[in-house]
């Protein structure tokens, strides 16, 4: 179960007018965060918590409140542009639910993935979203072909070979940034469109090796979600749930019921891979609570922490990393 520790509320942050995100973003732990795409998560009893998105590699965010979901998306974007120039990371943002993702950010168009016939940075219409998903699936296929021709194993190795001069940048071997796909109200999107579900599950299955990652949010009841959809996300950020069943569906544990505001349970892939028969916990799209309560191997990998929530000033102060910094 989650270690029930007393979390620092970081009173100094509110006292000096800085958000919790701003307070943690100047910490040594964040400055020294390792990985290809480090993101700031929050703080627990051991200090600042960061994670490499490339290792997660797809994250499902759950809350009953839209502002929690927006906070996670904005904090993730802020982390990524703080440490990466636009040649290294691009975004695709699907906001069909009108959450206002990326609004208020001083963010260059160059940070948004240049899909064919691009007209907008934040996609709000389903028809356009489905077309872009088709483009992303094709991009995955194209990238695997690049790996085959370049005799490299993944997009990181491909980029390193290009930097070292082993591969000459050309029309045949173009530079490929990491692409992070943000999806608001994921479950509603896939539930209303089978085509969206097929494309997003394919991205989740094949995206990691070629540098395409999902960060998806949902506020729908997780206990009614399809098991295959949930299984697409090996890492999860879970805010307070309304019922033990919702927490069980997301974590195979009931700990999220007892969270305070802005507290989360953050779990990574190794936590779920350590479970005994996790798929048996799902029964035809709903949680089998009796079976879940019998699962005993959930003591590791489940962490409660205070989330690094940004505020409007953080969005205005954002300074994207410049080339060659």
In this predicted structure, what is the pLDDT of residue 164? 94
Q: What percent of the chain has pLDDT over 90?
A: 44
Helices 126-150 and 155-163: crossing angle in degrees, nearest 10, is 60
Per residue in 167-185, pLDDT (tens digit) is 999 999 999 999 999 999 8
Confidence of residue 121 (pLDDT cuts 50, 70, 90): confident
Over residues 134-153, the pLDDT tens digits come to 999 999 999 999 999 999 99
Alpha helix (H) ranges present in the chain?
11-15, 20-25, 28-31, 66-83, 126-150, 155-163, 186-192, 194-206, 227-231, 244-251, 269-273, 289-292, 312-317
pLDDT band of residue 320 (cuts 50, 70, 90) is: low
What's the pLDDT score for residue 212? 97
Beta bridge partners, 213, equal: 180
Cα-Cα-Cα-Cα torsion 24, 183, 187, 311, nearest 10 degrees, comes to 30
Does 23 have pLDDT greater than 50? yes
What is the C-alpha to C-alpha distance for residues 24 and 13, in angstroms, rounded to an integer? 9
21 near 309, Cβ under 8 Å? yes
Residue that wins the pLDDT comparison between 11 and 103 = 103
Quote the pLDDT of residue 310.
85
Q: What's the whole-number average pLDDT of the chain? A: 81
**Tokens (6 digits) for 37:** 């795409």
Helices (H) and strands (E) in the chain, counts: 13, 12
* Domains identified in the chain and CATH numbers: 11-120+179-186+213-317 (3.40.50.300)
Rounded to an integer, what distance in angstroms lies between the CA atom of residue 139 and that of residue 219? 29
Task: Give 42-45 contacts, CB < 8 A, sequence gap 24+.
Answer: 42/264, 42/266, 42/305, 42/306, 42/307, 42/308, 43/7, 43/8, 43/10, 43/305, 43/306, 43/308, 44/5, 44/7, 44/303, 44/304, 44/305, 44/306, 45/3, 45/5, 45/6, 45/7, 45/8
322 pLDDT tier (thresholds 50, 70, 90): low
Strands of 45-113, DSSP E: 47-52, 59-62, 89-94
State residue 300's pLDDT score.
Answer: 40
Q: What is the pLDDT of residue 6?
A: 36
Instruction: Evaluate if residue 225 carries a pLDDT over 60.
Output: yes
Which pair of structure tokens corresponds to residue 35? Answer: 């990985």
pLDDT score of 208: 93
Residues 6 or more apart in contact with residue 142 via CB below 8 angstroms:
none
Taking 90 as the threshold, does the pLDDT of residue 130 lie above it? yes
Mean pLDDT confidence for 313-323 = 64
The three-state secondary structure class of 293 is coil
Q: pTM for this structure?
A: 0.84
What per-residue confidence (pLDDT) applies to 27? 92
Tens of pLDDT, residue by residue over 291-315, are 444 443 334 456 788 998 888 777 7
107 confidence band (pLDDT: 50, 70, 90): confident
| Strand-strand pairing, 89-94 and 178-183 | parallel
CA distances from 22 to 63, 78, 212, 315 (A): 22, 10, 27, 10
Instruction: Say if residues 104 and 316 touch (Cβ distance below 8 Å).
Output: yes
Residue 238 has phi, psi (to 5 degrees) of -120, 120
pLDDT digits (tens, 9 = 90+) for 247-294: 888 887 888 888 988 899 888 765 555 444 443 434 444 444 444 444
Choice among 95-99, 205-209, 223-227, 285-289 with the minimum mean pLDDT: 285-289
Q: How far apart are CA 233 and CA 133, in angstroms?
A: 17
> Which tens digits make up the pLDDT trace of 32-53?
998 999 999 999 888 899 999 9
State what percent of residues in the chain have pLDDT above 70.
Answer: 79
Which of 66-75, 83-92, 264-273 bottoms out in mean pLDDT, i.e. has the lowest? 264-273
């Amino acid at each position: 179960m989650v270690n029930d520790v007393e979390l620092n509320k970081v009173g100094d942050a509110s006292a000096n007018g800085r958000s919790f995100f701003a307070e943690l973003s100047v910490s040594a732990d964040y400055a020294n965060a390792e990985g290809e795409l480090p993101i700031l998560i929050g703080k627990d009893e051991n200090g600042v918590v960061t994670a490499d998105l490339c290792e997660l590699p797809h994250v499902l965010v759950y809350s009953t409140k839209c502002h929690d979901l927006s906070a996670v998306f904005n904090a993730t974007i802020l982390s990524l542009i703080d440490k990466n120039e636009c040649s290294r990371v691009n975004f695709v943002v699907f906001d069909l639910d009108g959450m206002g993702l990326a609004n208020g950010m001083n963010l260059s168009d160059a940070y948004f993935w240049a899909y064919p016939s691009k007209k907008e940075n934040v996609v709000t219409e389903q028809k356009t979203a489905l077309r872009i998903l088709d483009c992303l699936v094709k991009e995955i296929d194209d990238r695997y072909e690049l790996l085959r021709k370049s005799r490299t194993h993944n997009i990181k190795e491909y980029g390193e070979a290009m930097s070292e001069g082993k591969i000459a940048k050309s029309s045949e071997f173009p530079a490929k940034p990491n692409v992070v796909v943000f999806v608001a109200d994921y479950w509603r999107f896939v539930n209303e469109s089978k085509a969206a579900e097929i494309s997003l599950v394919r991205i989740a299955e094949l995206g990691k090796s070629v540098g395409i990652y999902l960060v998806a949010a949902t506020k729908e009841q997780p206990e009614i979600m399809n098991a295959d959809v949930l299984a697409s996300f090996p890492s999860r950020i879970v805010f307070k749930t309304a019922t033990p069943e919702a927490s069980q569906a997301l974590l195979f544990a009931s700990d999220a019921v007892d969270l305070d505001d802005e507290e989360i349970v953050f779990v990574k892939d190794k936590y779920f891979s350590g479970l005994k028969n996790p798929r048996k916990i799902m029964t035809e799209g709903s949680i089998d609570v009796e079976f879940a309560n019998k699962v005993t191997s959930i003591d590791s990998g489940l962490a409660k922490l205070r989330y690094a929530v940004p505020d409007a000033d953080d969005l205005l102060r954002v300074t994207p990393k410049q080339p060659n910094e």
